[in-house]
Amino acid sequence: MPKNKSYITYPSAEDTEANMVNEPMVAYNTLDSNNIFWFIAQVRKGINYKKFIDFANNGPFNLIEWAGFLHLSERTMLRYKQEEKTFDTLQSEKIIEIALLQRKGAEIFGSSSQFNVWLNTQNFALGKIKPKEMLDNSFGINLLKDELTKIEHGVLA
């Protein structure tokens, strides 16, 4: 005759507040939830070149680097400038993702210049490549967000 197994039972969430998991919001909420619809609208509408260049001129990347991140040729970037074109949805999304990453990085490192040093320094955790080399796709951008979250919480390995 088989023995009955005994199971440990835990109090339900209603029984105690101790069972509630309080995790850092930054891990799940990198976008300000009040502005998420604005970001969605901007991506759908597209970022025009004038707004892009205003942002890009205040950042650490030159137009050649931006062309690489957006998978455009330098000549196409010049044409966008001359014709004051609007970037398509995917390019607009990437511009906003990089802008948000820069904002978060400056917040974590205490300044944009300190964050830019990190972006341009080979990183062991990223396979000995410079973090800015990961900005050409969403997987890389998300990986950098994860690394920033680790740094923010003191996990440097």
pLDDT at 59: 87
pLDDT tens track for 8-38:
444 444 443 343 333 333 334 445 556 889 8
DSSP string computed for 78-101: HHHHHHT-B--HHHHHHHHHHHHH
* pLDDT surpassing 60 at residue 78: yes
User: Measured between alpha carbons, how far is residue 45 from residues 33, 48, 53, 67, 72 in Å?
Assistant: 19, 9, 17, 20, 19
* pLDDT surpassing 80 at residue 148: yes
Q: First CA to last CA across the chain, in angstroms?
A: 52
* pLDDT surpassing 50 at residue 105: yes
pTM of the full structure: 0.75
pLDDT tens track for 83-96:
999 999 999 999 99
Q: Is 45 left (phi over 0), alpha (psi -120 to 50) or beta?
A: alpha
Q: Could you tell me the residue ranges of all domains in the chain?
A: 33-152
Say which residues have a Cβ less than 8 Å from residue 86's Cβ, sequence separation at least 6.
45, 46, 47, 48, 49, 92
- DSSP assignment, residue 137? S
pLDDT at 35: 84
Say which residues have a Cβ less than 8 Å from residue 134's Cβ, sequence separation at least 6.
126, 140, 141, 143, 144
User: Measured between alpha carbons, how far is residue 35 from residues 90, 101, 138 in Å?
Assistant: 19, 15, 20
pLDDT at 49: 95
* Mean pLDDT, the chain, integer: 83
State the Cα–Cα distance between residues 47 and 49, nearest whole angstrom. 7
**Phi and psi for 123 in degrees, rounded to 5?**
-120, 120
Mean pLDDT of 138-142: 95
